[in-house]
């Protein structure tokens, strides 16, 4: 297992180095194309609850996506990290977000806004980030395991990963605890 972890770290570093060099105008254009594809996805169209990461550094942007979901009357929830756990809290506007874990924008911790995982599908979609993916939808995150742990207790939720095509490789290593998204959405289409 140690060899798999080291290999995942190497792949993560290599792919993120390329992603982080993307010129701003190209990052904006590709991000918008990803957001438009997610907004048109049937699972998102039907969903009432949207659990969405807030982009950090050069991750595929999610601001426009969240604005559009809020404008369409959907309930939008963003992650809030504490120690080794992560929960999602509802926001009514992006202006509620504040700098939190590692400088990532997070919602305030309000008990009445906590997303309670469903035991069956009730129109919940999660938009998740990742560092690297492959054609079998395996995912290498950022190494903290927050999404893997959350998804083990998330109940029924459709997972859409937002990533640039350069983040999708033919095959990457995985471990038993790694949870694959249902769909990977890139600027070029779905995987």
Side-chain half-sphere of 27: how many Cα atoms within 13 Å? 15
Q: What's the pLDDT at 120?
A: 64
**pTM for the complete prediction?**
0.95
Q: What's the pLDDT at 68?
A: 98
State the DSSP H helix or E strand holding residue 57, giving kind and residue range, or none if neither: none
b/e burial code for range 40-69 (CB count within 10 A of at least 16 → b):
ebebbeebebbbbbbbeebbbbbeebbebb
Q: What's the pLDDT at 39?
A: 98
Q: What's the pLDDT at 2?
A: 75
List Cβ neighbours of 65 (8 Å cut-off, separation of 6 or more). Answer: 35, 38, 39, 52, 127
For residue 184, which phi and psi values (nearest 5 degrees)? -110, 125
Q: What's the pLDDT at 67?
A: 98
State the DSSP H helix or E strand holding residue 25, giving kind and residue range, or none if neither: helix 24-40
Cβ-based burial of 171 (10 A; exposed 0-12, middle 13-18, buried ≥19): exposed
Look at residues 150, 178, 156 and name the one whose alpha carbon lies nearest to residue 88. Answer: 150
Q: Chunk the chain into consecutive blocks of 10 residues (it has 191) and report each block's average pLDDT, rounded to whole numbers.
A: 88 98 98 98 96 97 98 97 93 97 94 85 90 97 94 92 98 93 98 94
The overall longest dimension of the chain from CA atoms, in Å, is 46
Q: Rg of the Cα trace of the chain?
A: 16
Quote the CA–CA distance of 73 and 160 in Å, as a whole number: 20
In sequence order, what are the beta bridge partners of 162?
185
Structure tokens that stand for 64 in this block: 């426009």
- Let me know how long the chain is: 191
Quote the CA–CA distance of 31 and 125 in Å, as a whole number: 19
């Amino acid at each position: 297992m140690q060899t798999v972890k080291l290999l995942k770290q190497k792949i993560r570093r290599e792919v993120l180095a390329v992603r982080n060099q993307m010129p701003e105008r190209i990052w904006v254009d590709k991000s918008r194309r990803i957001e438009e594809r997610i907004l048109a996805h049937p699972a998102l169209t039907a969903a009432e609850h949207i659990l969405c990461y807030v982009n950090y550094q050069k991750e595929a942007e999610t601001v426009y996506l969240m604005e559009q979901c809020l404008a369409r009357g959907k309930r939008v929830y963003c992650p809030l990290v504490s120690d080794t756990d992560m929960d999602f809290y509802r926001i009514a506007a992006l202006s509620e977000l504040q700098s939190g874990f590692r400088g990532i924008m997070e919602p305030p911790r309000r008990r009445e806004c906590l997303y309670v995982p469903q035991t069956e599908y009730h129109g919940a979609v999660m938009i998740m980030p990742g560092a690297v993916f492959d054609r079998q939808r395996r995912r290498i995150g950022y190494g903290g395991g927050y999404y893997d742990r959350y998804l083990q207790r998330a109940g029924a939720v459709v997972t859409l990963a937002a990533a640039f095509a350069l983040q999708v490789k033919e095959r990457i290593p995985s471990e038993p605890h790694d949870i694959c998204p249902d769909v990977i959405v890139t600027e070029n289409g779905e995987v």
